[in-house]
Structure 1
Amino acid sequence: MQCEKRIMVIATMEEESLQNSLLFDKKSGFDSQTGIYHSLVRLDEDQKIPTQPNLDIATHVLSHFPPPEEAERRVALIDSATDQRVTYAQLHRSITCLAAGLHHGLGVKKGDVVFILSPNSLLYPVMCLAALYIGAVITTANPINTEAEIIKQVRDSGATLAISAPSEMSKLSSTGVPVLLTTGGGEGGHLSVEELIEKCESLEITEAKPNQSETAAILYSSGTTGTSKGVVLTHSNFISVVTMMKWSVQVSKANDDVILCFIPIFHIYGLAFFALGLFSTGNTVVLMKRYDFQAMLEAIQKYKVNNIPAVPPVILGLVKNDAGGHDLSSLRRVGSGAAPLSNEVVETFRKKFPWVELRPGYGLTESCGATTYFATDKEAKARPASSARLLPYFSAKVVDSDTGVALPPFREGELWLKSPTVMKEYLRNEEATAATFDPEGWLKTGDLCYFDDEGYIYIVDRIKELIKHNGYQVAPAELEAILTGHPDITDAAVIPHEDEAAGQIPVAYVVRAASDKLTEDQVMQFVNRQVAPYKKIRRVSFISAIPRSAAGKILRRQMISQSKQQTPSRL
């Protein structure tokens, strides 16, 4: 009931914002009476979020494909490794054929959860859109996750079918969930996505398709508190973010861009952008299976790539490494998300690539990957430390964590958000949902920030305790639970350590049993064989006691501060 009330509040937010438009400052977007920062962007009538309730994200995206004649010749996808090309017409046929195969051949129906375990491929957007088209719910996972992590997600999400790359199928063997391979087929009697597409039959859905308020995806994130939780995103969330993406493409005049994708599509950044949003704009996507610096340079040169949505380690790679004779003159735009960029990296990038627009942004899984956007390169250059302005339909508060008071420009506090893109809830986790939303439906991001007097946001630090390693979220609590499970460890704490290449690395502080001779390598091996590579402990220090508050809470900020004082800066 609380979630339904919050959704109704969000649905009327834009109308209320327009009615109150005379009350807030037109320069900053700040309303001193309510403490709310409003987006300064107003969309034209034909750019607004569709309001019809009986609309799903797949139908919405397909409705924006180029018209038939143009779709036959316009390229939607290119595999950078094989040069295989898929036109918009071929993509449309593959989506509807796979949807028919899933529905008629495998009995997938509205509300069923489909678990996808695969690296990037030309089939990934097809799998997502086909499942969504018949009303199924998708949940995606990192292929490098361990078997234990995969099993946990399959069970928590309630998946009834798994689609897996052949190389990852063994991780699903003990789940008991039927497996559809991405390619090949015949192995162990398993069908493949390719076979279902080839056996195409007419698509007739015998039951009602989902409406905007129903669940489209469950993506796993550590969120603003605790360990990994299922972020429930609706069709409305994705339709809203795709609408904003179409607007951003239009204002950037990027309708004919060739866009390089090495961002993992299982991540919200990749899913919203490369599996859904870009195909509503008519752009061409050059797809890489995974990020590789040299392969990226080759792809830029070969396909005349002019737009790269990236993450800080990629930007750092471009700054620090020589292009090796590759022609990068086609590049026009490079975006950056998942973690903040330092001023030094931004300035060095602009000097090295003066013809390229660098546009940092901010978003999180709980907001469907969206929050801010630089509409022009001029804005981005003028404010290199900023994470841009609020996207259309967004409102924000900057809240003092001690007093709960909403703060004006240039005052630091926790960022709270409202938007049609904000998640519905954490899956079957009322406690975490209640801790993340206030009673009026504001999403508490856990990030410390401030706005300036022109509505630009500056992310200062993370209030939440997550560690960001190469854009991935690592929950200290998860690693601490593993550490304290070792028979020779009596207590442990995990904190972030700043790292130029990865952003942050997890560092463990461990209290050994009195007579134990446990080594750093033994501790790291114990943890690292149980977790995905991005969660690995990179350093271990042994101490006599973990500093805790009277209530038993780890004094993590104190530990981080002491660690910085003890470790000389390498900048």
Structure 2
Amino acid sequence: MLRRLGISKGDVVAVALPNCPEYPIVFFGALALGAKVTTINISYTAEEIARQLADSGAHVLVGEPFLTPTLDAALNLYRKPTHFVTNGPSFTHTAINLWQVFEDPSIPFVDPVILTGEEPAVLPYSSGTTGPPKGVLTSHNGFSSHVPTTMHPYFTLEEGEDQDVYMCILPFFHIYGMGPIMTCGLHVGAKLLVSAKFDPKAFVRDISEHKVTVLHLVPTLLNFLLNSPAATPKALRRLRNVLCGAAPVPETAVAALKDRIGPSLLFQIGFGMTEVAVASKVPVNDERMGTIGQLLPNVTAKVVDTDTGALLPPLANGEICIKTPSMMAGYHNNPSATAETIDEEGWLHTGDVGHYDLDGFFKIVDRTKELIKVKGLQVSPSELENTILQHPDVADVGVVGVPHDRMGEAPRAYIVPKKSIKEQDIHRFLEPRLAPHKRLAGGVVFVSELPKSATGKLLRRELKKLT
């Protein structure tokens, strides 16, 4: 289909689909042609989609029928000749129906083009939590290099099982869903249980009924699992491997899930970002909770002083910098942003503050731009969040710094309570647990939910708008 539309090596195919069986067909079909794939967050507005189409230079847009009004509006704003393909019958007469293409026996499978591997392959856009979304340009070699090292461990399948079952609840447009789940799942021959969106009524039921063995989560989904009455040991009995990332994972939550399922559960925390794919993971035989594990093969890292850039020794906190074969080539059409992220020696500056221990296990304590300066002292929002989450009546929390006359900045907590609690209860709870400069001098605000990205990452920038 893409070849008949004139798509060839170097062209850009934009995909605006929820998780669905057709997603990998379009995705890998485009890569086989040597085209670049830019994946679009389907929650974007028409203006946001149009900006990504324009920045990437898209030639084809593949979208879901229910998104047609938004995608039509985006194409009108884009104002460049673009083929529009919908995953089923469309609301417009001009769109091509992907189902009809699949059912047409006269349309042959594509013959893959010969590539060196250095050609651009995927062009996802960063979340924008530290600025406007930027196209992350990754080569074929870069995208494929992390697949073998991020596969789940090889388990001995139980009697009657012939393959592992992955639940695909995290969006394929994001690097977490695109790489470790969709691509690695297909690579190892797993069965992929695809969910178009999170359904709280179906989530645990699907895990149980479809005998899911490998479950990729973000902390918000882990929290839901722990608080769902349906998530009984019987319902989760087939789970052998749970992997969690995209945001800090409380150790108490890991312990609670292991208590529910059993000690044989392998719980792994990993670290990655759109710009480097997956860089580290907790190894199979050494589950050190509270860390992001050890570096994957062929990945190197260093920790540098956030002010001077000087190399730091083990256990000293600084910015984590990474080199990896899966690293992006740069930000598309944005050399200045690329230069700010990748230095002259080829190190990618993650913006994450952390350290490594003598065994090579890394731990992230915060983001360089999210540290709160209280009377000149650095306070880690994630440290406060992990402490507050230990309160039995707190379901979720986000901490940001707010202006303060005496302190410069003061921490403020936005708390999602499990039941009615008072601000004084939180202050009393923290008093014996935190140093004075870390306490919530900025106050406590109770909210019904926290602003988060599609992958569960807390959007502190949105929280700050509430201050």
Q: Confirm or deny a common fold (TM above 0.5).
A: yes
Which residue number in structure 2 is paired with residue 356 of structure 1? Answer: 265
Q: 2:89 aligns with which of 184, 200, 203?
A: 184
Within the alignment, does 1:102 sit opposite 2:8 as a pair?
no
- Cα deviation, 1:335-360, whole Å, max 9, x if unaligned, reads 10100112222222222332422211
Give the stretch that moved more between structures: 440-449 or 405-414: 405-414
Unaligned runs of 5+ in 1: 1-100, 467-494, 510-560
Tell me how far 1:170 sits from its aligned partner. 1.8
Tell me how far 1:567 sits from its aligned partner. 2.3
Q: How does 1:79-228 map to 2 (within 5 A)?
A: 101-104=1-4, 106-173=5-72, 174=76, 175-176=78-79, 177-184=82-89, 187-200=92-105, 201-203=107-109, 208-222=113-127, 225-228=130-133
Q: Check conservation: 1:229, 1:427, Cα contact below 8 A.
A: yes
> Secondary structure, in 3 states, of the residue corresponding to 1:244?
helix
What is the RMSD computed on CA atoms of the aligned residues?
2.8
Q: 2:368 aligns with which of 452, 463, 466?
A: 463
Which residue number in structure 2 is paired with residue 451 of structure 1? Answer: 356
Which residue number in structure 2 is paired with residue 271 of structure 1? Answer: 178
Q: How does 1:258-407 map to 2 (within 5 A)?
A: 258-323=165-230, 327-354=235-262, 355-368=264-277, 370-376=278-284, 378-380=285-287, 383-407=288-312
> Secondary structure, in 3 states, of the residue corresponding to 1:220?
coil
Distance in structure 2 (CA, Å) of the matches to 1:416 and 1:154 = 31
Tell me how far 1:243 sits from its aligned partner. 2.4
Distance in structure 2 (CA, Å) of the matches to 1:502 and 1:295 = 22
> Secondary structure, in 3 states, of the residue corresponding to 1:102?
coil
Tell me how far 1:128 sits from its aligned partner. 0.5
Which residue number in structure 2 is paired with residue 545 of structure 1? Answer: none
Give the stretch that moved more between structures: 190-199 or 445-454: 190-199
> Secondary structure, in 3 states, of the residue corresponding to 2:349?
strand
Within the alignment, does 1:236 sit opposite 2:177 as a pair?
no
Distance in structure 2 (CA, Å) of the matches to 1:237 and 1:213 = 8
- Cα deviation, 1:301-336, whole Å, max 9, x if unaligned, reads 111111101100011112222226662211111110
- Cα deviation, 1:150-202, whole Å, max 9, x if unaligned, reads 11111111001100101112223213432101112584132122111222433
Q: Check conservation: 1:319, 1:345, Cα contact below 8 A.
A: yes
Q: Check conservation: 2:225, 2:231, Cα contact below 8 A.
A: no
**For residues 307 and 405 of structure 1, do their structure 2 counterparts lie closer, same or farther at Cα, with a shift above 3 Å needed?**
same
- Deviating above 4 A after TM superposition, structure 1's stretches of 4 or more consecutive aligned residues are 222-225, 252-255, 495-503, 505-509
Residue type of the partner of 1:372?
A: S
More relative contact order in 1 or in 2 (CA 8 Å, sep 6+)? 1
Distance in structure 1 (CA, Å) of the matches to 2:182 and 2:276 = 17
Distance in structure 1 (CA, Å) of the matches to 2:165 and 2:110 = 34
The total of aligned residue pairs comes to 384
Distance in structure 2 (CA, Å) of the matches to 1:186 and 1:322 = 40
Q: Check conservation: 1:110, 1:210, Cα contact below 8 A.
A: no
Tell me how far 1:565 sits from its aligned partner. 2.1
> Secondary structure, in 3 states, of the residue corresponding to 1:329?
coil
Which residue number in structure 2 is paired with residue 56 of structure 1? Answer: none
TM-score (norm 1): 0.63
**For residues 145 and 505 of structure 1, do their structure 2 counterparts lie closer, same or farther at Cα, with a shift above 3 Å needed?**
farther
**For residues 324 and 232 of structure 1, do their structure 2 counterparts lie closer, same or farther at Cα, with a shift above 3 Å needed?**
closer
Distance in structure 1 (CA, Å) of the matches to 2:210 and 2:400 = 37
Unaligned runs of 5+ in 2: 372-380, 404-436, 447-467
Q: Check conservation: 2:65, 2:91, Cα contact below 8 A.
A: no
**For residues 462 and 393 of structure 1, do their structure 2 counterparts lie closer, same or farther at Cα, with a shift above 3 Å needed?**
same
> Secondary structure, in 3 states, of the residue corresponding to 1:116?
strand
**For residues 503 and 179 of structure 1, do their structure 2 counterparts lie closer, same or farther at Cα, with a shift above 3 Å needed?**
farther
**For residues 222 and 284 of structure 1, do their structure 2 counterparts lie closer, same or farther at Cα, with a shift above 3 Å needed?**
closer
> Secondary structure, in 3 states, of the residue corresponding to 2:23?
helix
Distance in structure 1 (CA, Å) of the matches to 2:174 and 2:439 = 31
Which residue number in structure 1 is paired with residue 407 of structure 2? Answer: none
Tell me how far 1:257 sits from its aligned partner. 1.6
Within the alignment, does 1:567 sit opposite 2:454 as a pair?
no
Distance in structure 2 (CA, Å) of the matches to 1:286 and 1:503 = 31
> Secondary structure, in 3 states, of the residue corresponding to 1:566?
coil
Q: Check conservation: 2:19, 2:195, Cα contact below 8 A.
A: yes
Residue type of the partner of 2:10?
A: G
Tell me how far 1:502 sits from its aligned partner. 6.2
TM-score (norm 2): 0.76
Q: Check conservation: 1:162, 1:180, Cα contact below 8 A.
A: yes
> Secondary structure, in 3 states, of the residue corresponding to 1:379?
coil
Residue type of the partner of 1:103?
A: R
- Cα deviation, 1:358-417, whole Å, max 9, x if unaligned, reads 21111100012x0111221x411xx21111110011000000122221112111110000
Q: Check conservation: 2:117, 2:141, Cα contact below 8 A.
A: yes
Q: How does 1:454-533 map to 2 (within 5 A)?
A: 454-465=359-370, 504=398
Q: Percent identical across equivalent pairs?
A: 32
Tell me how far 1:508 sits from its aligned partner. 9.4
Q: Check conservation: 1:124, 1:275, Cα contact below 8 A.
A: no
Tell me how far 1:226 sits from its aligned partner. 2.6
Q: Check conservation: 2:303, 2:320, Cα contact below 8 A.
A: yes
Q: Check conservation: 1:128, 1:275, Cα contact below 8 A.
A: no
- Cα deviation, 1:93-142, whole Å, max 9, x if unaligned, reads xxxxxxxx2102x1111111111111111111111011111111111111
Give the stretch that moved more between structures: 109-118 or 500-509: 500-509
